[in-house]
Amino acid sequence: MTSTIDPKAIGKPVRARRHVRTLTGYLPEVDATGKEHWPRGEEEVWQAGLRGVDQDVPSITKSIVNHVQTSLARQAYNLDDLGAYQAAALSVRDNLLVNWNETQLNYTRKNPKRAYYLSLEFLMGRTLDNALLNLGLKEQYRDGIKKLGFSVEDILDKERDAALGNGGLGRLAACYLDSGSSTELPLWGYGLRYKYGIFQQLISPEGNQLEAPDPWLDNQNPWELPRLDVTYEVRFYGHAERLSDSRGVWQGGQEVLAVAYDVMIPGYGTKNTNNLRLWESKPKRGFDLNSFNAGNYEAAVASSNSADAITSVLYPNDHTSFGKELRLKQQYFWTAASLADIIRRFKQQGKPLKELPDFVAIQLNDTHPTLAIPELMRILLDEEDLNWEQAWSIVTNVFFYTNHTVLPEALEKWPVPLIEHVLPRHLQIIYDINLFFLQAVERKFPGDRDRLARMSLIEEGQPKQVRMAHLAAIGSRKVNGVAELHSDLVRTTILKDFVEFEGSSKYSNVTNGITPRRWLDQCNPELSDLITKTLKLDKVVWLKDLTKLDGLLEFTEDAAFRKEWAAIKQRNKERLANYVQTTLGLTVRTDAMFDVQIKRLHEYKRQTLNILGVIHRYLTLKGQTPEERKKANPRVVFFAGKAAPAYYIAKLTIRLIVNVARVINADPDTKDYLQLYFLPDYSVSLAEVLIPASDISQHISTAGTEASGTSNMKFCLNGGLLLGTVDGANIEIAEEVGESNVFFFGHLTPAVEDLRYQHLYHPVPLEEKCPALHRVLEQVSAGLFDDADIYEPLLNTIRQNDYYLLTDDFDSYIAALAMVDEAYADKDEWTKKSIRTTAKMGKFSSDRAILDYAESFWNIEPIPVSAKK
């Protein structure tokens, strides 16, 4: 010991950090006879201390009470619902961790090939209910919680959604994790632990969307396990130099620490419990000592603040990328930490790096993690001393890329100067990849300069930009879209040249899926029970093989069954009405058809078409006599969804919906026939209430724009019928349930380009082309819903260019709505359609989708935890 302190050592660990405690991947040693050594201490003492999963009510209540007493330091005297939730959640987490540990040790013993799902978003929603279902402990907890003087419903309601995602892409990732564990695949997720998730949406009295932060961690998060000693250093900025043989060095700049937080992902009907590892950014050193000593405290903490900022907030964009430096830093921070962790785990086996593709498959969820491709090249070239061919062969056998959109504005591009500034070595590698790639293209298509320019990773312009979809495609072993039509569009439009160059077998399709555990059993327990009773199957059986729903078909002709089916829908509508009453103080009539459109606000999704349709209906009703009106099918229309904060037109659409609702809900002439609600702050939990209550839901994107959609599947699984365009997964749903059970309208994908051309070069005045729509727009402009001028920019998108083809599809949309009314008039036939729809949704389980990825792409197999080595 010395009495002086070396300032350079402050903030550094006393000894070099060695990850020995919490890293996964340690196996017992064996002696010469193959018998395992207990690693330390007396094995019996250890064994006596280990716990299993609580099974009976007394052990469960004991565990909850223990957590009240110690983890929360509270008592029966001062425990509220939130405290009871926390204690119950902590006791459930203990159980999850038992299975988690066993699963990870089993994977280590078996040493299988593993898959990793890299997603910048995981829209998990709530966990407690799902964890209880998957552990098979719902009833025991219900009883136990009751004995402690609480109700399980009240407690479940205290949990905040983990809303680390924007929409379908993030929710898909969450469904895939659930399915990965349920099908017992060795699949981990990697993401970011944002301090603030997607913003909370508030609606002002004028109808404006206001955004508030979502501090979801404020009450602590019982579902994560901080692994404060699992850390990696991630570098930004600095300078890079090229050495010989494509190698380089990268030095200087800023180093930031990535700290792991593990989230347990329990499987359903199995002990397998996978891991979702989320990274949090932390300064490498608390603050800059020199500035601190000089009394400049702001400068002293500046770099630490900038490190903290990396994982502070989820970007609330969907289908846009703005080239923001912080977003680029998020993407690199996350991919670098995840790769370092994956490679560390692989290397522990002592295998040479050329075997990496035999043990590791990495799925890139959209282009967000594409920097993993140059990052792995950098590691292999600069740190592991491989040559270019060796490195590129490893890389292109490890990665797989899923594309989620063909909208041009949604394809990520990063300005070259920005990458050069933040990641100078990666830019060099990207240029090298591009050079080798274009040389190969030139060999196959000599002299075709246009093709080289189209395929280049670099788009010319001011500034030049890196096309991430091109990089993801050429750096991956397989590329897929998320529904048949979408995958075709990927092959024939945005990646056409790549298919011509590399062959079509690399470019395939995996239609999205949803987990039936959350999206049927949890959100619609009565329907789930009826199905179990009717199919005479154990619930576990059909929830793990959703094609079993087919067995419901024969009951469509059973009147008693239909009655039960319809009664459940009715009670779900009442549950929703009750929710609206308690949260918004509004009274919703439940004897009307419930018509729902819930999704992110975007012009391509055409919420505008829907609201203009509602206005059309309102004007029609207003023009009728009271006698005529009595023949109308009463309808309650629900909207919910968030608009990106900078998306002006989308926000105007919300404003229009809110103001139309204000007018028509108050109109005594029509309010018995038409009601309209915009439910604020759409979330996974709100979807769980809305979806089971819908009679009809709308999925009405311009043909060719919605890659798949997944809420369409959720509604249909819950016996709601679908009104939609011939787009995304709507098409495959119709193929399964039969076209007579869905309501399709609108132009088809091949017509879209031509229609847009006509709009530009041969415009027809709206009053001629679509008088009905013209009348609606005139009324809005005239101020029927107040704010006469406010909506002009929105209306002009339709009057002027109409890129999303509202003027082309409006008439057939109105006709489709009329067909829905007509069909609904025959309630019995409607119920038959509803049953047939649910019965034919087997294909859309995310278990099917994840097994498809496992078999056709990753080449991994289920590793059940119960089976010993």
Residues designated as active site: 404, 599-600, 605, 710, 714
Based on CB atoms, which residue is closest to ligand NBG, 60 or 172? Answer: 172
CA distance 305 to 282: 9
CA distance 607 to 597: 8
Rounded Cα gap, residues 474 and 496, in angstroms: 13
Nearest distance in Å: CB 319, ligand NBG: 6
Nearer to ligand NBG, 222 or 709 (CB): 709
Nearer to ligand NBG, 54 or 847 (CB): 847
Least CB distance from residue 751 to ligand NBG, whole Å? 20
Could you give the CA distance from residue 574 to residue 589 in angstroms, rounded to a whole number? 9
Looking at the Cβ atoms of 168 and 207, the one nearer to ligand NBG is 168
Please say which residue, 366 or 809, places its beta carbon nearer to ligand NBG.
366
47: helix, strand or coil: helix
**Nearest approach, Cβ of residue 609 and ligand NBG (Å):** 17
Q: Where are the alpha helices (DSSP H) in 826-858?
A: 827-839, 846-852
CB of 219 to ligand NBG, least distance (A): 29
How far is it, in rounded angstroms, from Cα 397 to Cα 657?
49
> Least distance to ligand NBG from the beta carbon of 631, Å?
37
Q: Which is nearer to ligand NBG, 404 or 848 (CB)?
A: 404
What is the nearest approach in angstroms of ligand NBG to the Cβ of residue 163? 15
* 264: three-class secondary structure by DSSP: strand
Report d(CA 37, CA 40) in Å as an integer: 8
Number of Cβ within 10 Å of residue 825's Cβ equals: 12
Q: State which residue, 167 or 719, has the beta carbon closest to ligand NBG.
A: 167
| Triad 220, 584, 573: Cα angle to 5° | 95
Longest CA span, the chain: 97
What residues make contact with ligand NBG under the rule CB under 6 A?
167-169, 172, 318-319, 366, 404-405, 410, 482, 512, 706-710, 728
Task: Choose between 319 and 426: whose C-beta lies nearer to ligand NBG.
Answer: 319
CB of 9 to ligand NBG, least distance (A): 47
At residue 133, φ and ψ (nearest 5 deg) are -60, -50
Phi and psi, residue 631, nearest 5°? -85, -10
Which residues are 263's β-sheet partners?
224, 276
Q: Which is nearer to ligand NBG, 366 or 497 (CB)?
A: 366
Q: State the minimum distance, in angstroms, from the CB of residue 524 to ligand NBG.
A: 21
CB of 326 to ligand NBG, least distance (A): 19
Supply φ then ψ for residue 237, to 5 degrees: 60, -145
For residues 321 and 331, give the distance between their C-alpha atoms in angstroms, rounded to a whole number: 12
Distance in angstroms (rounded) separating the CA atoms of residues 32 and 120: 46
Q: CB-wise, 599 or 635, nearer to ligand NBG?
A: 599
Cα gap 807→804, rounded to integer Å = 9
Least CB distance to ligand NBG at residue 729 (A): 7
In Å, how far are 170, 194, 312 from 215, measured between CA atoms? 18, 10, 10
Would you say 646 and 601 are in contact if contact means Cβ atoms under 8 Å apart? no
Count Cβ atoms within 10 A of the Cβ of residue 116 and give its class: 0-12 exposed, 13-18 middle, 19 or more buried: buried
CB contact at 8 A, 588 and 677: yes
Write out the DSSP string of 232-255.
EEEEESSEEEE-STT-EEEE-SEE
Provide the minimum distance between the beta carbon of 512 and ligand NBG in the complex, in angstroms, as a whole number.
Answer: 5
Smallest CA-to-CA distance from 457 within 495, 431, 429 is with: 431
Tell me, what amino acid is at 251?
A: Q
Closest CB to ligand NBG among residues 85, 804 = 804
Q: 250 pairs with which residues across the strands?
A: 240
Token pair for 333? 């921070």
DSSP 451-466: HHHHH-SEE-SSS-EE
- Minimal distance in Å, beta carbon 159 to ligand NBG? 25
Identity of the residue, 150 or 176, whose beta carbon is nearer to ligand NBG in the bound complex: 176
CA 854 to chain centre: 19
Q: Which is nearer to ligand NBG, 123 or 742 (CB)?
A: 123
The two structure tokens encoding residue 751 = 């017509």
Q: Which two tokens stand for residue 563?
A: 């009655």
Beta strand pairing call for 674-678 and 635-640:
parallel
User: What is the smallest separation between the CB atom of 687 and ligand NBG, expressed in angstroms?
Assistant: 14
Which residues, listed in sequence order, are joined to residue 402 by a DSSP beta bridge? 365, 480
Give helix 57-66 / helix 81-110 axis angle, nearest 10°.
Answer: 110
What burial class does residue 771 get, using C-beta atoms within 10 Å of its C-beta: 0-12 exposed, 13-18 middle, 19+ buried?
Answer: exposed
DSSP state of 691: G
Find all residues with CB under 8 Å of 16, minimum gap 6, and list them: none
Residue 845 is given by DSSP the state B
Tell me the C-alpha distance between 87 and 709, whole Å. 37
Indicate the burial class of 559 (C-beta count within 10 angstroms; 0-12, 13-18, 19 or more). exposed
